[in-house]
Structure 1
């Protein structure tokens, strides 16, 4: 039976990818029409028929290419989504790219054929002889295919950059927002695999790496719903981050932990069958003001500096000592307020490693769990 949460999450991911793809490819093909047709009548030695002469005539190819871009956007988004969900983990990166490129090429030719047929019937300024293999003889089609290839590379680079830096961060880095250190208020969660050393010795380094891959694949399935950014992967540990406002909204910074537990539990049979062990994670969380800045030159990335990160890591380290899975600071709990979806229990004042002043921490459990 399908999980409603998973279905809703997948639909949201698909719709998000869909609108981005439609907008990008509509704009990309509109740009191609501008490059190809706009101002042709003003070029020496080129004769342009009245249908596309002038601004009004130019709107016809502009509308045609923009509409074709929208159709391609739908197809490309659907192919990307299906590959990510069903095939990405089964094929090597190279084989996946070749397979996906071939499928996109076939659909592109189909869309070009459909567009050429419609344009030939609707507009008088073009008469394509659309028959099997027609696109092999059309030089303009090969020029368009080359343009689509370059545009696809640009789109892929943009997606990779957004995935690498997080939503909103990439645009800020483009305009140089972090060229100089910038003060921000953020929430950090350190998420670590319990009994990692024992599991690693039991599985061996190769199978253990696959085990970690599976765990973080499940984590990636839930982070977007709760607006979390994955700041770092460090071995068997993941560091999640939110702007303070996004983290507090709907208790995103709390709920993501329990959603991750539900996701792993839904694949309990998979973990036990493949690895003979089910992964349990512990988390520590804190929030406050810190500095954000671009660092590096050969490899540039966004780095956060401040006590918030150190405190979050130290709180997570207290989980084993108090035999709990989820701890957070009193400050963050107070800012979250009382929520019906989870309950809290005071651990007391603890002196975190490297600190000179004690801090109050609390354990957190979901409403259908019980803190003992």
Structure 2
């Protein structure tokens, strides 16, 4: 409940701020200085500052409603309906809401500013100004959607850095990486078949995405039945987020155990490897651009995860990273020892993390 409220509040303030600015810009572009232009007739009752104020308030109302509709669709209908149908239904709802709010604002503005606006039923059909605003709203909504998708794709703060060209040349950063892999994936895939198995993985990653925002994680890649998560180093060790996310995801899957058993006949379990340190990050590709990470940290994280089956553990972490994390009482640490990982000449000290409730 708290996680949903946090997600909604974040979407809400972003939407209110964006649409307030967007409608304010429309008034500036459309009307600023127009009454001073030679040969242009304007309504004698028209006042720019009052119009600017009214449109900013209008934009904030639209932002509030749009954010609510978006949240409801993402939370309750993203799995149930196709993307195309979702766009059609949501566009119809947004259009209806826009007409309703415009009508309300015109009526309020008529009384406050003593301007005679037409608010009769169906006023919007032949109103050229209204359709000009609708076209503007559609174009601006594409910008908002593009920004939202880009932020989701690259992570908070990363999109702006890419936009400014920070990663045109490789940059060194300190980050934490987690390799999260489905246990017994080969057996599950053989039993389910490729179609049901694909649905199974899809459901698992939906549940993973439920916990990702709470722990400020970035999803770097999905590779088959494996997900690669990462954090800036300080953010990942703060409040042991890079550890807590695994057990939160595990608990999520356990709570939905009956759902998975009824639908697929198997309950998913994941294993994870965690390591952190200095890596190189750069923007790669021309036809398809993306952010790529290079360095031993990624390789070691993957190799650590590969040892989970060997030691019959679900979560392994390097001792080097563990030394920087304040472990709380809800978790216990079990030393595995110094291991020779594939592709590494030096030994790597590894520990297992468990929840106290599991012991």
| 1:51 shift after superposition | 4.2
Q: Does 1:66 find its partner at 2:56? A: yes
SS at match of 2:167: coil
Question: Counterpart in 2 of 1:268?
Answer: 257
Q: Does 1:293 find its partner at 2:287? A: no
Residues 319-357 of structure 1: CA distance to partner in whole angstroms, max 9, x if unpaired? 000000000000011011342231110011111011111
Q: Does 1:138 find its partner at 2:127? A: yes
Q: Does 1:83 find its partner at 2:79? A: no
Q: Does 1:112 find its partner at 2:112? A: no
Q: Choose which of 198, 208, 215 in structure 2 pairs with 1:209.
A: 198
- When the two structures are aligned, how many residues end up with a matched partner? 359
Q: TM-score, normalised by structure 2?
A: 0.98
Question: Counterpart in 1 of 2:308?
Answer: 319
Return 5+ residue gaps in structure 2 as ranges: none
Alignment partners' CA distance in 1, 2:197 and 2:327: 39
Q: Does 1:157 find its partner at 2:151? A: no
SS at match of 2:4: helix
Q: Does 1:179 find its partner at 2:168? A: yes
1:13-24 to structure 2, matched below 5 A, reads: 13-24=7-18
Question: Counterpart in 2 of 1:4?
Answer: none
Q: Does 1:42 find its partner at 2:36? A: yes
| 1:128 shift after superposition | 1.8
Question: Counterpart in 1 of 2:112?
Answer: 122
SS at match of 2:324: helix
Alignment partners' CA distance in 1, 2:48 and 2:354: 62
SS at match of 2:105: helix
| 1:143 shift after superposition | 0.5
Residues 272-316 of structure 1: CA distance to partner in whole angstroms, max 9, x if unpaired? 111010000000000000101000111011100000000000000
Task: Check whether the contact 2:240–2:327 (CA below 8 A) recurs between aligned residues.
Answer: no
Task: Check whether the contact 2:239–2:326 (CA below 8 A) recurs between aligned residues.
Answer: no
Task: Check whether the contact 2:18–2:63 (CA below 8 A) recurs between aligned residues.
Answer: yes
| 1:42 shift after superposition | 2.2
1:215-254 to structure 2, matched below 5 A, reads: 215-254=204-243
Question: Counterpart in 2 of 1:368?
Answer: 357
Alignment partners' CA distance in 1, 2:326 and 2:95: 53
Alignment partners' CA distance in 2, 1:19 and 1:168: 17
Alignment partners' CA distance in 1, 2:103 and 2:301: 57
SS at match of 1:184: strand
